Amino acid sequence: MEPFQLVADAAENLYPARMQMALSLGWHIIFSCFGIAFPVFTVFAEWRGHRRGNAALTDLAHTWAKAMGVLFAAGAVSGTLLSFEMGILWPGLMGRFGEVYGFPFVLEGYAFFIEAIFVGIYLFGWNRMSPRAHMLSALPMIISGAAGAFFVVAANAWMNNPTGFRLDAEGRVADAEPWAAMFSPSTWPQTVHMLLAAYMVTGFTIASVYAIGMLRGRRDRRHHYGLLIPLTFAAIFTPVQIGVGDWIANVVAEQQPAKLAAMEGLYETEDRVPLSLGGLYYDDELHYAIEIPFGLSLLIHHDINGVVVGMEDIPVDERPPVNVVHIAYNVMVGVGSALLLLAFLFGWTWWRRRRLPKSSWFLRAVAVSGVGAIVALEAGWITTEVGRQPWIVYGILRTADAVSPAPGLFLGFYAVVAIYLALTALTVFVLRRLAHHHDTPAPQEVDAAPPDEHTGELAVR
């Protein structure tokens, strides 16, 4: 019937569609972090620079504002693709449950709109508005960034803990309550976890850029502040994140036992469960893991006799892939702990001595902390997403039943790979240029100064 029959059914679309979604989201989530936290750092630097009349700080804030513009543009275009992919790849999810959990996306549309408007105003208004008005114009950007994170994470939390509706006899949605769906049990822990992650990723990443500069011998005030401000934010939020991690683990244990069992590689349901680090899960058992006695029972129940549900109580066809989830979870916790150590070292030295640790190993550690924070972010995201499998809506709709059966859909994955490679290269290129030449204009700025002396050939296509 079809003029070209590339695939016969949805099964062949499933894996490419999942990979396409993973790639698109995994890329976008990094830029979202900067959209949430970077404006805060920037306006903080601007405020301090203004109050103290510190030109180095003001100049730094201006560079950051431009970098923020570049990152925002990259995040905006990747976010657009996502809004298409939600429907194109997962019509079984959107068509059936859009009325239940689509609502926070509408609110996110507004939040993103406000953010886009004020990013434009903030960048355009540099030196055009009074300092006070200019700093105030950053406020809507900061609020809408955080609000946007809440709305998107609320939608994801609903997929983990679907609430706010019932299914009728034919399995159709009835009595959808979008407000209730937006506040499912996972919404708050997940949102707080994500917001803190955004501050950590942004803080460690920016600090790492200046740490590299300092390692190369650039020890001016600009580098000093460039490292100090973001690292301070990150160091404050990292310990908080560890506490939030405990909160979220408890919610997962209660709401999604299969996910927790996969995170820990736990097969048998028992009490006095150890906490397992590393290892490989096969033959219904975790091998080669380092075990901390009673660790998991303590973590989940704050009691060594607490019973934790293992994989044996989960039907075989409802088990997530244990190794992916377990390793991703361990990577997140491991890197998070290393970042915590770095934060303590920095905080202690600053508290006692009012200076940065002198060792160049400290700078080296900061230099890799940015990549580390991003790795932890991605690992955490893999933990929650893969840990939910095989469900797209936990306990209700399987991912395999949500994917579009449209012929040829899987080809989109290859195109998306190519596009993201190009987009990544371009973003890195522009950011590097911005680092070398501070007068490089941001995408939202209008007065693009002639970049070099070939003035006649400037406004080329």
Partner 1 sequence: MTLAELVLGVMFVGLIAYGLFGGADFGAGIWDLLAGGTRRGARQRDLIEHSIGPVWEANHVWLIFVLVVLWTAFSGAFAAVVTTLYIPLTLAAFGMIARGAAFAFRKSITTLPMRRFLGAGFALSSLVTPYFLGAVVGGVASGRVPPGIAEGDVIRSWINPTSVLGGVMAILVCAYLAAVFLCGDARREGAEDLAGEFRVRALGTAAVTGIAGLGGLFVLRSDAPSLWDGLTGRAAPVIALSVVSGVVAVVCLALKRYAGARVASSLAVTAILVGWAVAQYPYILVPDLTIEEAATGRATLQAMLLALAVGAVILVPALVYLYVLFQRSPTGSPRQAVPSEATGTGIH
Which CB, 112 or 267, lies closer to partner 1?
A: 112
For the CB of residue 62, give the shortest distance to partner 1 in the complex, in Å.
6
**Least separation, in Å, of the C-beta of 61 and partner 1?**
9
**Residue whose CB is less far from partner 1, 55 or 290:** 55
CB of 238 to partner 1, least distance (A): 23
Q: How many beta carbons lie within 10 A of that of residue 132, not counting itself?
A: 10
- 83/305 with CB nearer partner 1: 83
Nearer of residues 282 and 414 to partner 1, judged by Cβ: 414
Supply 350's token pair: 């600053």
Our CB check for partner 1 shows the closer of 85 and 268 to be: 85
Report, in Å, the least distance between residue 377 CB and partner 1: 22
Give the residue among 151, 26, 42, 136 at the shortest CA–CA distance from 85: 26
Closest by CA to 240, choosing from 300, 200, 185, 287, is 200
Three-class SS of residue 189? helix
Q: How far is the CB of 434 from partner 1 (least distance, A)?
A: 7
Of 315 and 450, the one with the shorter C-beta distance to partner 1 is: 450
DSSP string, 389-454: TTEEETTTEEHHHHS---TTTTHHHHHHHHHHHHHHHHHHHHHHHHHH-TTPPPTT-S-----SS-
Spatial contact of 431 and 293, defined as CB atoms under 8 Å apart: no
Please provide residue 281's backbone torsions phi and psi, each rounded to the nearest 5 degrees: -100, 115
Give least dist CB 425 to partner 1, A: 10
Q: Tell me the closest approach of the beta carbon of residue 169 to partner 1, in angstroms.
A: 17
Residues 6+ apart with CB under 8 A from 176: 99, 100, 164, 165
Give the separation between CA 107 and CA 116, rounded to whole angstroms.
14
What distance in Å separates the CA atoms of residue 129 and residue 377, rounded to the nearest whole number? 36
Name which of 419, 443, 446 is nearest 431 in CA terms: 443
CB of 137 to partner 1, least distance (A): 9
Nearer to partner 1, 35 or 245 (CB): 35
Nearer to partner 1, 136 or 290 (CB): 136
Work out whether strand 166-167 and strand 173-174 pair parallel, antiparallel, or are unpaired: antiparallel
Measured from the CB of residue 442, what is the shortest distance to partner 1 in angstroms?
7
- The answer to whether residues 144 and 115 touch, using CB atoms and an 8 Å cutoff, is yes
Question: Nearer to partner 1 by C-beta: 369 or 444?
Answer: 444
CB of 198 to partner 1, least distance (A): 20
- Shorter beta-carbon distance to partner 1: residue 224 or 326: 224
The C-alpha atoms of residue 334 and residue 7 are separated, in whole angstroms, by 42
Residue closest to 227 by CA, chosen among 45, 375, 65: 45
Evaluate whether 300 touches 238 at the Cβ level (below 8 Å).
no
